[in-house]
């Protein structure tokens, strides 16, 4: 992309309404623009990152054999009356009436809707196991939306729902989701620690939240520091193997790690004192097992092996996709701006022309741009007639992992400068060498 033809409305000043660094940087880098309290327009740079996160989530859900669907964002209240949640859900639910005066609502989550889809089409245990998921906008009328996309009212969520014949089968689905989440977050450059949590309005008594440690996190967490040494890496897991998925659950959740809602001081004191940590975290996902809570209420049964109807065992599993962008920035920034992990960066590298309009410099930039694009990499070429300092400041602010700086002086010696955003280190090399180095 050439910056002269892009739409990147960066801000020079820190917006006064931003209280945490991710909110401040998302506004300054021209990623979002507030449309109303807790509701944002996603501008090109932010929207590009959102789609990168979506792609990673779809890949990891497919790897686990979960099937993508798309459910509506406006739902009928009737389904929620069947489960009894229409009244229970409280003021967070945005309710409305259509022109025929029918009660409708803006989906805060979709257990009822997906159960209705299931009960209408699946009737035999032979069709199980089945996990359906979507990545879809949600609305929760938070009393105090704040911190930008971190606690919005309209937000983007991956929500997945598993349907199984027995509790054991459903707990395997739970473990399988834990495995996919560990790999998903690591691919985004994050360490998200699974912690015992409270199930809240979703229900059930078995749930883990995934938290990214951050001083600005809304959740208070208590954990054994040994959990921060755990990494999933590129393990090859057989997602159908109960033993392998159970072993991952035990490896990543046997040490003490809990949110304040489930914290147990006595248990915590059994952790060696030098390993006890109290901190704050950002909840970027949660997985639940809630048995037959919705299937019994809504008559979602299958014919069991003995021919008798069995209400299916279910769980639901969410990832806060828009919140993740804030979490990644909280975990990866410096005083000059964002530092995108390579797996989620909006552009692979920036190209800065120090003398736009100079034939040799322009030709070199176009050549590098063409070579990177031919390799499937996505460069952002700052071809504006702007002084170097302003171009560097923009590149640092938007946080691309690499910057290639091209100027007439360097070219006379056959070199350009390659700078790594994370370390700030620069190295002179030939234009061809920079392409090879960052490909
Ligand atoms: N107000 C909000 N703003 C941004 N992200 C949110 C908000 N509320 C929840 N989330 C994100 O959405 C994730 C899933 O939400 S949840 O309530 O825990 N789970 C569910 O809704 C389940 N139905 C998952 S299918 C949370 O872990 C969090 O990362």
Q: How far is the CA of 318 from the centre of ligand 1 (A)?
A: 6
Q: How far is the CA of 382 from the centre of ligand 1 (A)?
A: 37
Among protein residues, the one whose CA lies closest to atom 23 of ligand 1:
109
Q: Is 140 in the pocket of ligand 1 (CB under 6 A)?
A: yes
Q: How far is the CA of 138 from the centre of ligand 1 (A)?
A: 9
- Give ∠ CA 179-180-186 in degrees, rounded to 5: 95
Q: What is the pLDDT of residue 185?
A: 98
Q: Is 113 in the pocket of ligand 1 (CB under 6 A)?
A: no
Q: How far is the CA of 396 from the centre of ligand 1 (A)?
A: 31
Q: Is 152 in the pocket of ligand 1 (CB under 6 A)?
A: yes
For the entire predicted model, the pTM comes to 0.96
Q: Of 328, 326, 219, 190, which Cα lies nearest the Cα of 280?
A: 219
Strand partners, 215: none
Q: Of 33, 145, 40, which Cα lies nearest the Cα of 92?
A: 145
Q: What is the pLDDT of residue 148?
A: 97
Q: How far is the CA of 94 from the centre of ligand 1 (A)?
A: 16
Among protein residues, the one whose CA lies closest to atom 19 of ligand 1:
318
Report whether 56 contacts 188 (CB < 8 A). yes
Tokens of 54: 């979506």
Q: Is 154 in the pocket of ligand 1 (CB under 6 A)?
A: no
pLDDT average per 10 residues of sequence, the chain (439 residues) = 97 92 98 98 98 98 98 97 93 97 98 98 97 98 97 98 97 97 98 89 83 95 97 96 96 95 95 98 97 96 97 98 98 97 97 96 97 96 95 98 97 98 97 94
Pocket test for ligand 1, best of 204, 209, 323, 330 (most atoms within 8 A of CB): 323
| Closest ligand 1 atom to 284 CA | 29
Q: What is the pLDDT of residue 334?
A: 97
Q: How far is the CA of 152 from the centre of ligand 1 (A)?
A: 10
**With a cut of 0.95, is the ipTM above it?**
yes
Q: Is 323 in the pocket of ligand 1 (CB under 6 A)?
A: yes
Q: Of 415, 419, 409, which Cα lies nearest the Cα of 432?
A: 415
Q: Which helix (H) or strand (E) holds 371?
A: helix 359-374
Q: How far is the CA of 91 from the centre of ligand 1 (A)?
A: 16
Among protein residues, the one whose CA lies closest to atom 28 of ligand 1:
320
Q: Is 203 in the pocket of ligand 1 (CB under 6 A)?
A: no
Pocket test for ligand 1, best of 318, 321, 326, 328 (most atoms within 8 A of CB): 318
Q: How far is the CA of 432 from the centre of ligand 1 (A)?
A: 45
Among protein residues, the one whose CA lies closest to atom 18 of ligand 1:
286
Q: Is 281 in the pocket of ligand 1 (CB under 6 A)?
A: no
> For the chain, how long is the longest CA-to-CA vector?
82
- The Cα 187–Cα 432 span in angstroms is 28
Q: Is 38 in the pocket of ligand 1 (CB under 6 A)?
A: no
Q: Of 225, 190, 191, 194, which Cα lies nearest the Cα of 209?
A: 194
Tokens of 387: 């002084």
- The Cα 78–Cα 88 span in angstroms is 14
Q: Is 85 in the pocket of ligand 1 (CB under 6 A)?
A: no
Among protein residues, the one whose CA lies closest to atom 11 of ligand 1:
320
């Amino acid at each position: 992309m050439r910056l002269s033809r892009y739409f990147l409305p960066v801000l020079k000043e820190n917006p006064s309404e931003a209280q945490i660094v991710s909110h401040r940087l998302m506004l300054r880098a021209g990623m979002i623009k507030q449309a109303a309290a807790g509701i944002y327009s996603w501008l090109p740079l932010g929207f590009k990152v959102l789609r990168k996160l979506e792609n990673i989530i779809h890949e990891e859900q497919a790897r686990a054999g979960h099937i993508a669907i798309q459910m509506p964002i406006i739902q009928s209240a009737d389904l929620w009356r069947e489960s009894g949640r229409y009244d229970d859900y409280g003021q967070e639910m945005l309710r409305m009436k259509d022109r025929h005066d029918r009660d409708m609502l803006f989906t805060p989550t979709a257990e009822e809707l997906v159960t209705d889809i299931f009960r209408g089409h699946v009737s035999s245990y032979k069709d199980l196991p089945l996990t359906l998921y979507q990545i879809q906008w949600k609305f929760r009328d938070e009393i105090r939306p704040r911190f930008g996309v971190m606690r919005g009212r309209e937000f983007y969520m991956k929500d997945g729902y598993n349907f199984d014949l027995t509790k054991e089968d459903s707990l395997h689905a739970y473990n399988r989701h834990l495995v996919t989440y560990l790999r998903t977050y690591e691919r985004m450059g994050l360490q998200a620690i699974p912690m015992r949590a409270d199930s809240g309005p979703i229900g059930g008594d078995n749930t883990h939240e995934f938290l990214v440690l951050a001083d600005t996190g809304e959740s208070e967490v208590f954990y054994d520091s040994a959990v921060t040494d755990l990494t999933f890496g590129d393990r090859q897991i057989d997602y159908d193997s109960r033993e392998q998925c159970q072993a991952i659950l035990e490896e990543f959740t046997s040490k003490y790690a809990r949110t304040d809602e489930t914290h147990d001081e006595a248990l915590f004191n059994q952790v060696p004192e030098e390993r006890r940590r109290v901190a704050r975290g950002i909840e970027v996902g949660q997985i639940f097992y809630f048995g037959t809570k919705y299937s019994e209420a809504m008559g979602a049964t299958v014919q069991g092996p003995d021919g008798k109807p069995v209400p299916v065992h279910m769980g639901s599993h969410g990832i806060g996709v828009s919140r993740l962008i804030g979490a990644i920035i909280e975990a990866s920034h410096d005083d000059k701006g964002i530092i995108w992990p390579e797996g989620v960066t909006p552009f692979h590298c920036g190209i800065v022309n120090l003398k736009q309009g100079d034939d040799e410099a322009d030709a070199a930039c176009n050549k590098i741009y063409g070579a990177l694009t031919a390799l499937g990499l996505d460069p952002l070429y700052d071809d504006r007639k702007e002084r170097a300092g302003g171009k560097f400041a923009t590149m640092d602010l938007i946080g691309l992992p690499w910057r290639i700086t091209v100027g007439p002086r360097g070219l006379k010696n056959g070199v350009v400068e390659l700078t790594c955003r994370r370390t700030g280190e620069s190295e002179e090399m030939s234009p061809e060498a920079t392409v090879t180095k960052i490909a």
